[in-house]
């Protein structure tokens, strides 16, 4: 346990659901006659978080993320299982949790600090740092019931991170503050990571999950499906979102096989020229198949290396096995950590909004200038669409092609804004 900050063993949380309020009373009078059904918010979840790690928890709404955090922080008691925590926790679970709406900001700082086990002097020593970070001005002297949601999260987060926690737990709190406050919070995350703090982070912002987390846990309907590196787990989460995740690791559906060209020699040549991933991830419902994917440079030559600043084209073909009213063709560029950098599709570009028939074949190209910084990237392709109100994945290929950007001038961030500079 020396290196483990949080350990959960077989954690389950069951709620009893009643069709009518009176059923609860009747069941209390006669416990042998059940009038409720069990809802498993968590089902025997195991989780070990090591000291110094930043671990993300992702999943759809109702997957049990917040329930797990509340059990870890002691807000909820598990129905079964054991939880062990080694270190002082500071948690920001719900907007305004622990705040008295009649108290002003200063009074709530002392109230929350006392609840966390700090003396008045210890809170006095941290007060100015909290006020500077929250930066809500004179509102700190007003009752919290007059605060906007943004002010709540500023003050609550400032309290949470300025009491020197060994473990910081955050549940979607950063989705409320403005962009400048979010940047300040993420900078604090980086400081905490450098100091060896443990961070447990729940968010629907997959870019932040990929950027800041060392490891990610995927929950779905109370069950831990998987854990691993951010890129791997984010890809699995996207399969869950469209109902195509399989626990056995086989993510194909509808009898899909690895895409291939008609001639094996052509396939080998294509793979050599475009660095096709031999372990690509694919799934879909079988209504379409993406194949013949490659990149060409400004001269039309197949390649996996593009010079920064020059035009290039992404190519792929799609064979349709069923009639589809309005297919959408897409590509996405990720960095090697799994962060989505850019991408587009034919719906965004209003480039193709027509039906297709079974047996049709479409050749799709996207041409643009290369403005990404020098480095290694991964290309993903997709053919999707909407059937009535449902989003449907016909075929997706994740991280299928390696793209190398060659550059002799890189700027800050992911891409170059190609600034024209004058100094007079």
Q: Are residues 288 and 388 in the same domain?
A: yes
Does 250 fall in a domain?
no
Report phi then psi at 14, rounded to 5.
Answer: -120, 130
215 three-class SS: strand
Q: Tally helices (H) and strands (E) across the chain.
A: 9, 18
Q: Can you give the length of the chain in residues? A: 424
CA angle at 148 for the pair 145 and 151, rounded to the nearest 5°: 100
**Residue 337 is part of a domain; what is its CATH number?**
2.70.50.60
Residues 6+ apart with CB under 8 A from 156: 92, 95, 96, 97, 98, 99, 112, 173
CB 415 within 8 A of CB 342: yes
Q: Are residues 190 and 295 in the same domain?
A: no
- d(C-alpha 21, C-alpha 26), whole Å: 9
Does 396 fall in a domain?
yes
How does strand 54-58 pair with strand 215-220? Answer: parallel
Q: At residue 227, does pLDDT exceed 50? A: yes
Q: Are residues 204 and 343 in the same domain?
A: no
Q: Maximum distance among all alpha carbons in the chain?
A: 87
- d(C-alpha 138, C-alpha 145), whole Å: 15
Q: Are residues 117 and 226 in the same domain?
A: yes
Give the H/E segment covering residue 107: helix 105-115
- d(C-alpha 160, C-alpha 165), whole Å: 8
Does 398 fall in a domain?
yes
Does 145 fall in a domain?
yes
pLDDT of residue 249: 52
pLDDT of residue 189: 78
- d(C-alpha 134, C-alpha 308), whole Å: 41
- d(C-alpha 199, C-alpha 385), whole Å: 38
Q: Are residues 208 and 90 in the same domain?
A: yes
Q: Are residues 230 and 278 in the same domain?
A: no
The model's pLDDT over 17-31, given as tens digits with 9 standing for 90+, comes to: 888 888 787 878 787
Per the structure, the count of domains in the chain is 2
The model's pLDDT over 216-225, given as tens digits with 9 standing for 90+, comes to: 999 999 999 9
pTM: 0.77
Rounded mean pLDDT of 326-349? 94
Q: Are residues 88 and 231 in the same domain?
A: yes
The model's pLDDT over 250-259, given as tens digits with 9 standing for 90+, comes to: 544 433 443 3
The model's pLDDT over 280-301, given as tens digits with 9 standing for 90+, comes to: 889 999 999 999 999 999 999 9
- The domain of 329 spans 259-406
Does 67 fall in a domain?
yes
Question: Would you tell me the crossing angle of helices 179-194 and 149-161 to the nearest 10 degrees?
Answer: 10
The radius of gyration of the chain's CA atoms, rounded to the nearest angstrom, is: 26
Q: Are residues 218 and 333 in the same domain?
A: no
Q: Are residues 26 and 133 in the same domain?
A: yes
Side by side, which strands form the sheet with 198-202?
Answer: 89-92, 167-171, 198-202, 54-58, 215-220, 223-228
The model's pLDDT over 119-130, given as tens digits with 9 standing for 90+, comes to: 899 999 999 999
Which residue's entry shows tokens 């299982």? 81
Report phi then psi at 127, rounded to 5.
Answer: -60, -45
**Residue 117 is part of a domain; what is its CATH number?**
3.40.50.300
Does 133 fall in a domain?
yes
The least confident of 3-17, 90-104, 308-322 is 90-104
Rounded mean pLDDT of 313-323? 97
Q: Are residues 337 and 196 in the same domain?
A: no
Q: What percent of the chain has pLDDT over 90?
A: 52
- d(C-alpha 273, C-alpha 304), whole Å: 6
Rounded mean pLDDT of 68-88? 92
Q: Are residues 282 and 234 in the same domain?
A: no
Rounded mean pLDDT of 335-343? 89
Q: Are residues 183 and 276 in the same domain?
A: no
Does 308 fall in a domain?
yes
Does 416 fall in a domain?
no
pLDDT of residue 273: 52
- d(C-alpha 360, C-alpha 321), whole Å: 8
pLDDT of residue 262: 37
Question: Would you tell me the crossing angle of helices 120-134 and 105-115 to the nearest 10 degrees?
Answer: 130
pLDDT of residue 333: 96
């Amino acid at each position: 346990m020396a290196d483990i900050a949080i350990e959960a063993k077989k954690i389950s949380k069951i709620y009893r659901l009643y069709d009518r309020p009176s059923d609860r009373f009747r069941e209390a009078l006669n416990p042998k006659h059940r009038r409720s059904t069990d809802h498993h918010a968590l089902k025997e979840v195991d989780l070990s978080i090591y000291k110094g790690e930043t671990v993300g928890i992702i999943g759809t709404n109702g997957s049990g993320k917040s329930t797990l955090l509340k059990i870890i922080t002691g807000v909820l008691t598990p129905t079964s299982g054991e939880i062990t925590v080694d270190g002082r926790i500071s948690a920001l679970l719900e907007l305004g949790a622990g705040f008295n709406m009649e108290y002003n900001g200063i009074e709530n700082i002392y109230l929350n600090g006392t609840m966390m086990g700090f003396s008045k002097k210890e809170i006095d020593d941290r007060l100015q740092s909290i006020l500077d970070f929250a930066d809500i001005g004179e509102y700190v002297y007003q009752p919290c019931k007059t605060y906007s949601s943004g002010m709540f999260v500023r003050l609550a987060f400032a309290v949470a991170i300025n009491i020197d926690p060994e473990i910081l737990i955050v549940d979607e709190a950063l989705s409320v503050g403005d962009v400048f406050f979010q940047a300040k919070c993420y900078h604090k995350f980086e400081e905490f990571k450098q100091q060896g703090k443990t961070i447990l982070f729940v968010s629907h912002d997959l870019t932040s999950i990929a950027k800041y987390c060392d490891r990610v846990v995927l929950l779905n309907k109370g069950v831990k499906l998987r854990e691993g590196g951010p890129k791997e787990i984010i890809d699995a989460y996207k399969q869950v979102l469209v109902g195509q995740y399989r626990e056995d690791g086989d993510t194909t559906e509808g009898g899909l096989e690895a895409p291939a060209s008609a001639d094996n020699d052509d396939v080998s040549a294509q793979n050599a020229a475009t660095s096709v991933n031999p372990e690509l991830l694919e799934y879909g419902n079988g209504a379409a198949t993406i194949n013949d994917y490659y990149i060409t440079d400004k001269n039309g030559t197949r390649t996996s290396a593009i010079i920064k600043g020059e035009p290039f084209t992404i190519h792929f073909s799609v064979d349709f096995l069923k009639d589809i009213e309005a297919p959408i063709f897409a590509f996405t560029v990720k960095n090697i950590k799994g962060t989505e950098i850019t991408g587009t599709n034919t719906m965004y570009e209003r480039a193709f909004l027509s039906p297709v028939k079974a047996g049709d074949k479409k050749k799709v190209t996207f041409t643009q200038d290369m403005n990404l910084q020098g480095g290694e990237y991964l290309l993903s392709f997709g053919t999707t669409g909407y059937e009535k109100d449902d989003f449907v994945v016909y075929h997706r290929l994740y991280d299928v092609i390696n793209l190398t950007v060659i550059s002799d001038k890189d700027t800050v961030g992911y891409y170059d804004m190609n600034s024209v500079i004058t100094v007079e």
